[in-house]
Each structure stands twice: as structure tokens, then as C-alpha cells.
């Protein structure tokens, strides 16, 4: 889609999101009149037209928008069209049936590498004056939707499609029922989708627009930009699977159309379709590793080539909330890199008084003081939330240190610094205790 045509579509979504439906409709119409094949313009005109006029007159428009989106490789947009039909009281079955048949596992249309959809040229939008409103606006929209739907429904293709991540792991009947769990959500630019460190169970798929993913981490740390995601991307799935707080903040960079699914509905779908669960888990594992590499000073200090080799030495170890990861006075199982969740580092003095020395999150390391300085753990480490770590077993630490001496130097510096901090904290505790005895 061309640059010039893109901006009115953003305006269409902004109007839709803010409840200025006529303004949104005028913007979408200005595109549809010059680009009959624009799935998003047709979808917005049909839905907003159906909201403001008679929904029955826009059923074909939504169906044609879904078919166009399907052919253009935009399955999430086709699902939005189905969900919007349902919302307008129309029958969504033809849309969901067609989408499931095209993208379900085993579909004859699915090819590993389908040719990418050709972008449309830049087209000047049609002039739609602000004075066009009410019945006159609906009539003109009906005409444009009819013309577009007629053309698209006859031209509906059977060309090859690339598999849709996650969705194409399901065969058509399973995909058909999975498609029904999603609800559409339109959002203006700059709106929060999920907020780091909060709890939430919904997951989202981007149907149109762009999302910015950022991690703020500690209060005084600089935010780390993690990703910019576009159509087809999945977000919010990590908290759902790990049960940890949200790992990042996600904000719309431009007006967006999202699909949302609740944790309960996703849990049911995953139980029914183990393949879907495996795809979810693999997706999360990749993102967790990606984030760990971006956040961990230890991993970042080695070259990307070395890093992949280094990460392969670790295995995943998950802990439930409240579970002990390291026991004070004992040798730890190894070196832990926190991938998601949060741990508390707690020191217990001789009088069995506990002091929380730190709370550590993704990218931080625990277990290095005991391993590097070769002595029992000076504090206990407990999971504050469900926590996922990468573990390098103690017996393989030396071998890793030989292969990556730079990592050993970094760990040594970290260990010495933390050991001093803990000793200082213990001294303060002891002094406090002495004072209290004197008093
Ligand atoms: P969740 O932890 O539930 O909430 C924040 C979301 O940001 C997270 O799920 C992922 O969907 C997304 N996210 C986290 N890290 C990345 C990344 N490296 N790339 C893309 N998306 C990410």
C-alpha cells in the first residue's frame, strides 16, 4: 500500500478508536474509492458503515475484505473481519470457514515460501468533504463497498500462501474453532497494549499497525528497545506461559488493529491442541533468549558468534513462586542467568535475622559469587514470581571459563563487588545488633 494512501487509513483507525465514526468512515472511503482492492479500507468502510447504517448491507463487504486479506497473506486481518461480522450480528461462518480452509495445516495453498504480496502504488485519496455526513455518507460508502466487493469476490484467488505462524500448526477444523476465540480491538497511536511488571493474561496478534516493545527494567536503568512488531506478530504470550509479570512494555507506534484472546480461551485451545502449545513455548523460548542476550552484561560482552556457543552450554531451569534457587551456606547448582520473573537475594545472620539484599530480574546473574570465589553461597536466592533461568551446572563452569576467559573476568568483577556489598550489609546488621544489645 502506498505512502499517501496509508495516512488516511491511519486517520480512519484513529476516528474508529476515538468513537468519531463518521470521520473514520470518510477517511476510509477516500481510500476505497481509489483502491478497491485495499482490504483494510474495505473492512473499515464495511464495519463503520454497518455500525452507522444497516449491517446487512455490508455483509458482502466484510466477506470480500476477509478474502482479500487471506489472499494477501494477512490472516489476522481476515479474522478481524470475521469477528466484526459477528459483532454486527451477521453470520461470521463463511469468513471463518474460508480462512481455516486456506491456512489450516495440510491446505493445498500453503507453500513454504509463497511469493510476497505486491505492494500497491502510491495513490492520491479521493476527496471526501467533511460536510458529507449522515445518510448521504452511508449511501456513498454503500456504493463504494458494493463496487469493491463485487470486484474482489469474483477475482478471489487460489494462489500459494505462506503458512501463518502459530495458526497453520492447526488442521482446518481445529483452526476453525481457534479463530472464534479472538476479539478485535482498535487502538490509537501511542496507546499501551501491555505494561511491564503488571500481571495479565491476554495475548494479542497484530492485524494492522506497528507496536514498539521496550523494557525498562530497574528504575534507574536506561530503557532497552527490544523490537518493533508489525502485522502477524504475537504479543503478551510470555506472561501467559511463564505466569511471570509482563516482561516488557508494548505501545502502539501507529493506529493499530489487534486481535485479543483471553488466557482462559487460550488455555482451552492449547489443551485441545498440544501442537499449538509447543509452538507457543518455542516462540517464547526464542524471545526469552533474544531478550536475555540484549539485557545480560555477561552475554553482551562476548561477540555474537561466541555468544551462541556460550548460550548452548546452558539449559533451562524454571522455578515456582517461593521456590529456593540457592541455599545460603551451600554450594549452588551452578551459574543462573535470569531469563524472566524475579528473585530475591536474602541474607540470614547468625541470629536468624533476614535482610533482603536485592531483587533481581531478567538479565541478572546469581550463583557467581560462590562459583568464582569457590565458597558456599553467602545468601539465599528465592523466586518472587514464577521464574525461568538458564543454568550452567557447576561441574561445567571451569570448562566454560576456559573457552570464554572474558566471561570469567566479568563474573569475577561482579562476584567481588557483590561479596563486598554483602559483607558491608552483614557488618551493618551486626552493628545494629550490638547497638540494640548496648541499649
Ligand atoms: P509478555 O511478557 O506477556 O508482555 C510483554 C510482551 O512483549 C511479551 O509478552 C512479548 O510478547 C513481547 N516481547 C518481549 N520481548 C520481546 C522481543 N525481544 N521481541 C519481540 N517481542 C517481545
CA of 264 to the centre of ligand 1 (A): 19
CA of 286 to the centre of ligand 1 (A): 10
Cell of 432: 545494629
CA of 287 to the centre of ligand 1 (A): 7
Q: Is the CB of 248 under 6 A from ligand 1?
A: yes
How much is the average pLDDT of 6-13?
Answer: 89
CA distance 134 to 130: 11
pLDDT digits (tens, 9 = 90+) for 245-270: 898 999 999 999 999 999 999 999 99
Ligand 1 pocket check: which of 213, 214, 261, 285 to mutate, most ligand atoms within 8 Å of Cβ?
Answer: 213
CA of 430 to the centre of ligand 1 (A): 43
Closest CA to 53 of 142, 148, 143, 146: 142
Q: Is the CB of 206 under 6 A from ligand 1?
A: no
Cβ contacts of residue 150 below 8 Å, gap of 6+?
Answer: none
Closest CA to 90 of 129, 121, 130, 47: 47
Domain 183-292 coded CATH 3.40.1350.10? no
Q: Which region holds residue 209: left if phi is over 0, alpha if psi is between -120 and 50, else beta?
A: left
CA distance 388 to 341: 6
Could you tell me if 386 and 320 are in contact, meaning their C-beta atoms sit under 8 angstroms apart?
yes
Given this model, what pLDDT does residue 438 score? 38
CA distance 234 to 403: 36
Residue whose CA is closest, atom 6 of ligand 1? 236
Given this model, what pLDDT does residue 120 score? 60
Tell me if 183-292 shares its fold with 305-435. yes
Which is the closest atom of ligand 1 to the Cα of 200? 3
Burial classification of residue 19, based on how many CB atoms lie within 10 Å of its CB (0-12 exposed, 13-18 middle, 19 or more buried): exposed
pLDDT digits (tens, 9 = 90+) for 193-214: 999 989 988 999 999 999 999 9
Burial classification of residue 303, based on how many CB atoms lie within 10 Å of its CB (0-12 exposed, 13-18 middle, 19 or more buried): exposed
Q: Is the CB of 64 under 6 A from ligand 1?
A: no
Q: Is the CB of 250 under 6 A from ligand 1?
A: yes
Q: Where are the domains of the chain?
A: 8-164, 183-292, 305-435
User: Look-up: residue for cell 478471489?
Assistant: 156
Which is the closest atom of ligand 1 to the Cα of 234? 11
Cell of 211: 507496536
pLDDT digits (tens, 9 = 90+) for 344-382: 999 988 888 899 999 999 889 999 999 999 999 989 999
Cβ contacts of residue 267 below 8 Å, gap of 6+?
Answer: none
pLDDT at 409 over 90: yes
Q: Report the range of poorest mean pLDDT among 323-327, 330-334, 346-350.
A: 346-350
Cβ contacts of residue 438 below 8 Å, gap of 6+?
Answer: none
CA of 185 to the centre of ligand 1 (A): 19
Could you tell me if 280 and 42 are in contact, meaning their C-beta atoms sit under 8 angstroms apart?
no
Name the β-bridge partners of 392: 335
Cell of 253: 507506534
Could you tell me if 281 and 273 are in contact, meaning their C-beta atoms sit under 8 angstroms apart?
no
CATH for 305-435 is 2.60.120.10
User: Look-up: residue for cell 505486491?
Assistant: 118
Using DSSP bridges, classify how beta strands 203-208 and 234-235 pair: parallel, antiparallel or unpaired.
Answer: antiparallel
Q: Is the CB of 213 under 6 A from ligand 1?
A: yes
pLDDT at 220 over 70: no
Which is the closest atom of ligand 1 to the Cα of 244? 2
Given this model, what pLDDT does residue 114 score? 66
CA of 27 to the centre of ligand 1 (A): 32
Closest CA to 196 of 314, 341, 78: 341
Q: Is the CB of 194 under 6 A from ligand 1?
A: yes
CA of 213 to the centre of ligand 1 (A): 7
User: Look-up: residue for cell 571459563?
Assistant: 401
Amino acid at each position: 500500500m502506498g505512502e499517501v494512501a496509508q495516512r488516511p487509513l491511519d486517520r480512519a483507525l484513529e476516528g474508529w478508536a476515538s468513537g468519531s465514526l463518521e470521520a473514520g468512515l470518510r477517511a476510509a472511503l477516500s481510500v476505497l474509492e481509489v483502491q478497491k482492492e485495499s482490504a483494510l479500507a474495505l473492512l473499515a468502510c464495511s464495519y463503520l458503515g454497518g455500525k452507522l447504517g444497516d449491517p446487512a448491507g455490508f455483509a458482502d463487504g466484510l466477506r470480500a475484505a476477509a478474502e482479500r486479506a487471506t489472499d494477501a497473506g494477512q490472516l489476522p486481518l481476515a479474522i478481524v473481519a470475521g469477528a466484526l461480522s459477528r459483532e454486527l450480528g451477521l453470520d461470521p461462518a463463511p469468513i471463518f470457514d474460508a480462512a481455516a480452509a486456506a491456512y489450516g495445516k495440510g491446505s493445498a495453498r500453503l507453500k513454504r515460501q509463497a511469493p510476497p504480496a505486491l505492494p500497491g502504488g502510491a495513490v492520491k485519496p479521493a476527496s471526501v468533504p467533511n460536510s458529507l455526513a449522515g445518510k448521504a455518507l452511508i449511501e456513498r460508502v454503500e456504493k463504494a463497498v458494493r463496487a469493491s466487493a463485487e470486484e474482489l469476490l469474483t477475482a478471489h484467488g487460489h494462489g500459494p500462501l505462506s503458512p501463518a505462524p502459530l495458526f497453520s500448526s492447526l488442521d482446518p477444523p481445529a483452526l476453525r474453532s481457534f479463530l472464534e476465540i479472538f476479539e478485535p480491538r482498535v487502538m490509537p497511536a501511542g496507546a499501551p497494549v501491555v505494561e511491564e511488571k503488571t500481571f495479565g493474561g491476554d495475548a494479542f496478534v497484530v492485524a494492522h499497525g506497528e507496536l514498539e516493545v521496550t523494557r525498562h527494567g530497574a528504575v534507574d536503568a536506561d530503557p532497552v528497545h527490544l523490537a518493533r512488531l508489525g502485522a502477524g506478530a504475537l504479543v503478551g504470550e510470555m506472561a501467559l506461559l511463564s505466569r511471570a509479570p509482563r516482561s516488557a512494555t508494548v505501545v502502539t507506534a501507529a493506529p493499530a488493529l489487534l486481535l485479543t484472546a483471553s488466557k482462559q480461551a487460550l488455555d482451552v485451545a492449547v489443551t485441545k491442541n498440544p501442537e499449538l502449545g509447543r509452538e507457543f513455548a518455542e516462540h517464547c523460548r526464542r524471545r526469552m533468549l533474544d531478550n536475555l542476550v540484549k539485557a545480560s552484561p555477561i552475554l553482551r560482552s562476548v561477540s555474537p558468534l561466541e555468544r551462541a556457543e556460550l548460550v548452548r552450554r546452558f539449559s533451562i531451569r524454571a522455578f515456582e513462586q517461593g521456590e529456593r534457587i540457592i541455599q545460603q551456606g551451600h554450594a549452588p547448582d551452578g551459574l543462573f542467568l535470569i531469563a524472566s520473573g524475579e528473585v530475591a537475594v536474602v541474607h540470614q545472620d547468625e541470629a536468624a535475622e533476614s535482610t533482603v539484599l536485592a531483587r533481581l530480574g531478567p538479565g541478572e546473574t546469581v550463583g557467581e559469587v560462590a562459583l568464582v570465589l569457590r565458597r558456599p553461597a553467602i545468601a539465599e536466592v528465592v523466586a518472587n514470581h514464577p521464574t525461568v533461568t538458564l543454568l550452567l551446572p557447576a561441574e561445567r563452569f571451569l570448562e566454560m571459563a576456559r573457552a570464554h576467559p572474558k566471561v570469567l573476568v566479568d563474573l569475577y568483577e561482579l562476584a567481588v563487588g557483590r561479596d563486598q556489598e554483602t559483607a558491608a550489609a552483614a557488618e551493618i546488621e551486626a552493628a545494629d545488633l550490638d547497638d540494640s544489645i548496648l541499649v
